[in-house]
Amino acid sequence: MSVGQTTTGSFTIAHLRENCIGCGSCALIAPEHWTMSSTDGKATLVMSARKKRFFVKKIDSADYASNLEAARSCPVHIIQMQ
């Protein structure tokens, strides 16, 4: 997203969980959408659905900025915003 560009409508977060290294940056930045699993230490996209290898979730524009920051903070780049 460029400077001055606005976000309206709905967006999709796609998370390739199997490649997560468990750094926790996404859960720290957007805790309303991300948690860390106590079972395997990986990030979990809250209220998501599995679609092939990805976990996906629709969000609205109010949640876009925090999730974009979470995606950008991921050191293994496994969070995509669409």
Residue 15 lies in a domain: yes
Task: Count the neighbouring beta carbons within 10 Å of the beta carbon of residue 54.
Answer: 19
Domain that holds residue 28: 11-81
Residue 50 lies in a domain: yes
Measure the CA–CA gap between 7 and 75, rounded to whole angstroms: 25
78: tokens are 């496994």
**63 pLDDT higher than 90:** yes
DSSP, res 9:
S
State pTM to two decimals. Answer: 0.86
Map tokens 């496994």 to a residue: 78
**51 pLDDT higher than 50:** yes
Domain count, the chain: 1
CB of 42 closer than 8 Å to CB of 76: no
28: tokens are 């720290």
Instruction: Report strand pairing: 79-81 vs 54-60.
Output: unpaired
**61 pLDDT higher than 70:** yes
Q: Quick one: pLDDT band at residue 9, thresholds 50, 70, 90?
A: confident
The 3-state DSSP composition of the chain as helix, strand, coil percent (nearest 5) reads: 25, 30, 45
Which CATH number fits the domain that encloses residue 37? 3.30.70.20
